Every structure is written in structure tokens, then in C-alpha cells.
């Protein structure tokens, strides 16, 4: 089996976030049409075409509509900045993270289509 060549790096960058897998990323709802959704923060554990499922630190899951919200994602440090830190130490060092604010409408798409790496993707 041959390896696929892709211009996408395995770690999302601010420029490529809308084309990457969002599951596992830390996120916070910065703005939303529903005021109760503002401030929901945690890790993305699920995604559909129109929603993100965010697991909060207490273990509760919140489903937030993408189209009516603005999200702030915390991207992990790039490979060059990681060194030999463990995940726990890296989580504590928020200065090593990059924060990206994304309008939900920009990522409102079927996750499989949004992340495809073929040349014909409209997300490139």
C-alpha cells in the first residue's frame, strides 16, 4: 500500500483548521445565538454536519449548533515545540498553544467531506 502525499500536516494549523479532524481538540464557545451556549468549554468528542459535541471537564456532553456559534479552538504545539514534555505538562503550558477563532458556519459540513484530501475538495 502506498503512502498518500498530502499538503496537510498531521497537526492542525490556524490556516488548515477547517480541513482537519476536530475530535480531540480543546474548544470554547465564544459567541452563540443561544446565550446559554456561550462559555461551554471542553474537548470535542463528536461532530456532525451541523453540530459539535463538547465534553466538559465534569463529563457532561453539550451539543452546540455550528451555524449559530463562534468557536475558539486551542491547537496543540507544533512538533518542533513539543520537545520531551508529557501530555499533562503540555496541557498546563497554555503558552505553547495557538488559539484560533472560527465561525461555525465555516466548519458546517459533513466531517468526512470537509477533511478529505483530494484535490477537488472545496475546502482547500
| Of residues 96 and 6, more confidently modeled | 96
Q: Provide the pLDDT confidence category of residue 88 given band limits of 50, 70 and 90.
A: very low
Q: Give the residue, 34 or 122, on which the prediction is more confident.
A: 34
The average pLDDT across 3-31 equals: 76
C-alpha cell at 55: 465534553
Class of domain 17-113: mainly beta
pLDDT at position 83 is 41
pLDDT tens for residues 19-29?
Answer: 888 999 999 99
Average pLDDT over residues 13-34: 88
pLDDT-based confidence at residue 11 (cuts at 50, 70, 90) = confident
Task: Provide CB contacts within 8 A for 46, sequence distance 6+.
Answer: 23, 52, 53, 61
Quote the mean pLDDT of the chain: 78
Domain boundaries, the chain: 17-113
pLDDT value of residue 124: 47
Helix then strand then coil, in percent of the chain rounded to 5, is 20, 30, 50
| Predicted structure pTM score | 0.72
Instruction: Round to whole Å and give the CA distance between 31 and 29.
Output: 6
On whether the CB atoms of residues 33 and 43 are closer than 8 A, the answer is no
Reported as a pLDDT band with limits 50, 70 and 90, residue 8 is low
Amino acid at each position: 500500500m502506498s503512502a498518500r502525499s498530502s499538503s496537510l500536516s498531521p497537526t492542525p494549523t490556524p490556516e488548515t483548521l477547517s480541513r482537519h479532524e476536530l475530535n480531540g481538540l480543546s474548544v470554547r464557545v465564544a459567541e452563540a445565538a443561544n446565550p446559554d451556549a456561550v462559555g461551554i468549554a471542553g474537548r470535542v468528542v463528536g461532530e456532525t454536519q451541523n453540530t459539535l459535541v463538547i465534553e466538559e471537564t465534569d463529563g457532561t456532553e453539550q451539543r452546540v449548533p455550528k451555524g449559530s456559534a463562534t468557536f475558539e479552538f486551542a491547537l496543540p504545539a507544533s512538533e518542533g515545540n513539543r520537545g520531551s514534555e508529557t501530555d499533562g505538562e503540555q496541557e498546563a503550558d497554555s503558552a505553547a498553544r495557538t488559539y484560533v477563532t472560527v465561525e461555525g458556519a465555516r466548519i458546517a459540513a459533513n466531517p468526512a467531506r470537509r477533511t478529505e484530501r483530494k484535490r477537488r475538495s472545496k475546502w482547500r
